Amino acid sequence: MQSFRTEIENPLVEQDILDLEKKIRLFNEGNIDEEKFRSLRLARGVYGQRQQGVQMVRIKLPYGKVTGEQLHRIADVSDEYSTGRLHITTRQDIQIHHVSLDRTPELWVQLEKDDITLREACGNTVRNVTASPMAGVDPNEAFDVSPYAYETFQFFLRNPFCQEMGRKFKMSFSGSDEDDALAFMHDLGFIAKIREENGRTSKGFKVLLGGGLGSQPSHGIAIHEFLETKYLIPLVEGVLRVFDRHGERNRRNKARLKFLVNDIGEEEFLRLVREEQKVLGYTEHEIDTAAFEHQVDLPDVEIEDIFIKDHETFELWKKTNLFSQKQTGLFAIGINVHLGDFYTDKARKLADLIKNYASNELRFTLRQDMLIRNVREELLPFFYRELSKLGFADAGYNSTKDITACPGTDTCNLGIASSTGIAAELDRVIQNEFPRYIQNDDITIKISGCMNACGQHSIAHIGFQGMSVKAGALTAPALQVLLGGGVLGNGKGRFADKVIKVPSKRGPEALRRILRDFEAHAGQGENFLGYYDRQGKIYFFNLLRELSDTTNLQPEDFIDWGHNEKYVKEIGVGECAGVVIDLVATLLFESEEKIDLAEKSLRSEKWSDAIYHAYSSIVNSAKAIMTSDGLKTNSHASIIKGFDEAYIREGKINLVSSFEDFAYQINQNEPRESFAKSYLDDAKVFYEKVDRYRVKELTNAQA
């Protein structure tokens, strides 16, 4: 493996990549446990695929923004290390697949040359911070949320307490009450607001806490109707610290923030947040927005007159894919990307187009599409022609035809049934049989290959979830049909009802029946949600019941969409939220690593980082011997309480105070040099006590 020291200027990034290279080497030599290694690589954007021996690499793009130079770099990396296919996710990331593990460090090096990171794109970390794709150009927005999304991304990237939480953590920023960034279904969601008070105008956010999808979707709780922007970062840090300390760490299916909020209640959770905020060392955090407020710099170009042969198609494209910006005379162009997949040859041409004729900025959207911004009106025919050459001028951006789908069984370990296969088939149904829905943005269709809802099926008007169904001794791929979800605006949404399960090959017929019935029975001006509510869930169950019959399946029903071989239900180990490591030796090794990180932070005068690393070492050390004795270690808080009861009060390990007082010094002291040094010394002493205890126990067990 090559040295990267001469290629990366940022020492933090350089160390990240060198660490990944080192861990891969130790793993290949058999010196790191597989589960521990999985946790390490996930936090660096490297995710195991369904196919053995290759990885998916997730590229983290805050609020979906990419420049022409960055898109060129991503395309080059995909060609060199992957297959040339780029996949847009519902979190505004880019994924590339079939990457060799050994080559991931050098891949990362290449991306960093254009300021692109993999860090914390996967694992139990703060995931990519998403935002309204039209942020900064939307005539209806309260203000541009881009700088706030970026500062949140930047502030918590590599932040010590965000590296090994009990579960992933997701945040989004919506610029208007339309809530197109889906604040209500995030761990923390923010909706921009303007407040006029005593002649003063201030910017702030409506804040929603504890939302999420998955098998048990949860609507976020509005904890602030208006939070001034200067309090944004302190709030996020307080919430993250509470989640890190009190969140579940063993039962993965109960480890999201929504379960913690539900268990202890909103009032107690917010009390804990306020307690954490007391020792942050800051109460406000002003966010500099100047870099986002400059006048748009557009290239001065002249082009020949463009003759559009098919004027009707051009006008349809303008109607469905074109948006007037709040900047006079400028337009945003939506690009409908089928299944979120496009290839590097087109990516490069698109990168040149936005660089040479627009503002050199593209944003990936939460519906797996792309949005070009800041296009002059006189260039619209030119852009239409050039996008048509790339296959990027299909009408129907954000329409019913614009179907969202996760990769499903194509690459994901958790996939149960094909998402992309059925999505392609439903797309054909709409294109050929219901072309009028290309102009309909009232009905959304979303598909996930499993219950984890990466395709957001549970907030769709019409959703499909990959499942399987038994037919005698055989198993066929199936789809759970969900109806009645949607975004209501201003932080409110609704989750779809599970109506019925049908074999996958009958998914297209299910869609036909739903759309035909809607057209036949919806009232004058009645939208889909009103129609669904009026008819009721049982009505739709009866409408589709015939399709659920498994006594008459044909041979082709046992072959999933997009496949040629008989369906076999195979579910691997999911990695979308990392893993919990309970190996005693690994935990003690981690404690040593945390002490080393704390010492490095002290030398860099990063007192808060040093304190948190010392705290992590203390908790890890306690967890190690509790694990060896079979005691519960569900959260940091339960570890601290349980260690007191089992070891301090029983006199097995001696401290000058209770373990709770010892560990929770972090909550009683501001992040200053003197405390950072004394707390690190405490962590070292405690580690030695635990290590001696562990050696003694092992010796007694062998006697």
Please say if the pLDDT value at position 307 is more than 50: yes
pLDDT tens-digit series, residues 34-43: 766 776 777 7
Domain with 106 in it = 11-112
495 within a domain of the structure (yes/no) = yes
Q: Average pLDDT, stretch 618-629?
A: 89
Structure tokens at 43: 């936090």
pLDDT tens-digit series, residues 10-59: 677 777 787 788 888 877 877 777 766 776 777 777 877 767 778 889 99
Please say if the pLDDT value at position 600 is more than 60: yes
Burial of 114 (0-12, 13-18, 19+ CB in 10 A): middle
pLDDT tens-digit series, residues 195-238: 998 889 999 999 999 999 988 899 999 999 999 999 999 999 99
384 within a domain of the structure (yes/no) = yes
Domain match, 417 and 538 both: yes
Read off the CATH number of the domain in which 135 is found: 3.30.413.10
40 within a domain of the structure (yes/no) = yes
Which pLDDT does position 410 carry in this prediction? 63
Q: CB neighbours of 199 closer than 8 A, spacing ≥ 6?
A: none
Residue 181, Ramachandran bin (φ over 0: left; ψ between -120 and 50: alpha; else beta): alpha
Tell me, letter by letter, the H, E, C secondary structure of 57-88.
Answer: EEEECHHHEECHHHHHHHHHHHHHHCCCEEEE
Phi, psi for 464 (deg, rounded to 5): -135, 135
Boundary (domain end) residue, out of 362, 389, 416: 389
Please say if the pLDDT value at position 485 is more than 80: yes
Domain match, 100 and 148 both: no
Domain match, 146 and 200 both: yes
Q: Which of 304, 324, 301 is nearest to 374 (CA)?
A: 324
Read off the CATH number of the domain in which 47 is found: 3.90.480.20
Please say if the pLDDT value at position 586 is more than 70: no
Which pLDDT does position 560 carry in this prediction? 84
Q: Average pLDDT, stretch 565-587?
A: 54
Structure tokens at 382: 């030119």
Q: CB neighbours of 212 closer than 8 A, spacing ≥ 6?
A: 170, 185, 186, 187, 218, 256, 257, 258
Please say if the pLDDT value at position 581 is more than 60: no
Domain match, 434 and 551 both: yes
Which pLDDT does position 440 carry in this prediction? 92
CA distance 677 to 391: 60
The type of residue at 613 is H
Which pLDDT does position 588 carry in this prediction? 80
| Helix spans in 210-307 (H) | 232-246, 257-264, 266-277
Q: Which of 455, 547, 472 is nearest to 509 (CA)?
A: 547
Domain match, 632 and 693 both: yes
Residues 6, 42, 337, 368, Cα dihedral to 10°: -120
Which pLDDT does position 583 carry in this prediction? 52
CA distance 470 to 454: 25
Which pLDDT does position 578 carry in this prediction? 38
Residue 408 three-state SS: helix
Give the relative orientation of helices 104-112 and 11-28 as an angle to the nearest 10 degrees: 170
CA distance 396 to 382: 19
Domain match, 591 and 534 both: no
The percentage of residues in the chain with a pLDDT greater than 70, rounded to a whole number, is: 93
Domain match, 264 and 185 both: yes
**Mean residue pLDDT across the chain:** 89
117 within a domain of the structure (yes/no) = no
Task: Give the helix/strand (H/E) hosting 14.
Answer: helix 11-28
- Rg of the chain over Cα atoms, rounded to whole angstroms, equals 26
180-198 burial by CB neighbour count: b if 16+ within 10 A, else e? bbbbbbbbbbbbbbeeeee
Number of domains in the chain: 5
Which pLDDT does position 413 carry in this prediction? 62
Task: Give the helix/strand (H/E) hosting 203.
Answer: strand 200-209
Instruction: Identify the weakest region by mean pLDDT among 147-161, 407-421, 526-540, 544-558.
Output: 407-421
Domain match, 421 and 545 both: yes
CA distance 482 to 67: 37
451 within a domain of the structure (yes/no) = yes
CA distance 255 to 272: 18
Read off the CATH number of the domain in which 609 is found: 1.20.120.330
pLDDT tens-digit series, residues 67-100: 999 999 999 999 999 999 999 999 999 999 999 8
Give pTM, 2 decimals: 0.88
Residue keyed to tokens 């088939």? 425
Please say if the pLDDT value at position 255 is more than 90: no
Q: Average pLDDT, stretch 392-399?
A: 96
Domain match, 532 and 641 both: no
295 within a domain of the structure (yes/no) = no
Q: Which residues pair with 56 in a beta bridge?
A: 47
Task: Give the helix/strand (H/E) hosting 382.
Answer: helix 380-389
Q: CB neighbours of 479 closer than 8 A, spacing ≥ 6?
A: 417, 422, 464, 465, 466, 467, 501, 502, 503, 504, 506, 507, 510
Boundary (domain end) residue, out of 49, 81, 112: 112
Domain match, 266 and 381 both: no
Domain match, 233 and 134 both: yes
pLDDT tens-digit series, residues 416-475: 777 888 999 999 999 999 999 999 989 999 999 888 888 899 999 999 998 888 888 888
CA distance 63 to 68: 16
- 599 — pLDDT class (breaks 50, 70, 90): very high
The percentage of residues in the chain with a pLDDT greater than 90, rounded to a whole number, is: 65
Instruction: Identify the weakest region by mean pLDDT among 30-34, 113-117, 656-660.
Output: 30-34
Do the strands 486-489 and 492-494 form a parallel or antiparallel pair, or are they unpaired?
Answer: antiparallel
- 569 — pLDDT class (breaks 50, 70, 90): low
Instruction: Identify the weakest region by mean pLDDT among 193-197, 301-305, 340-344.
Output: 301-305
DSSP 8-state assignment for residue 117: B
Residue keyed to tokens 């990396």? 77
Domain match, 591 and 623 both: yes
Read off the CATH number of the domain in which 385 is found: 3.30.70.3340
206 within a domain of the structure (yes/no) = yes
Cβ atoms of 111 and 118 closer than 8 Å? yes
397 within a domain of the structure (yes/no) = no
Q: Which of 432, 418, 366 is nearest to 92 (CA)?
A: 366
- Write out the E strands in 49-199: 55-59, 65-66, 85-88, 94-99, 130-131, 171-174, 188-197
CA distance 582 to 633: 9
Please say if the pLDDT value at position 497 is more than 60: yes
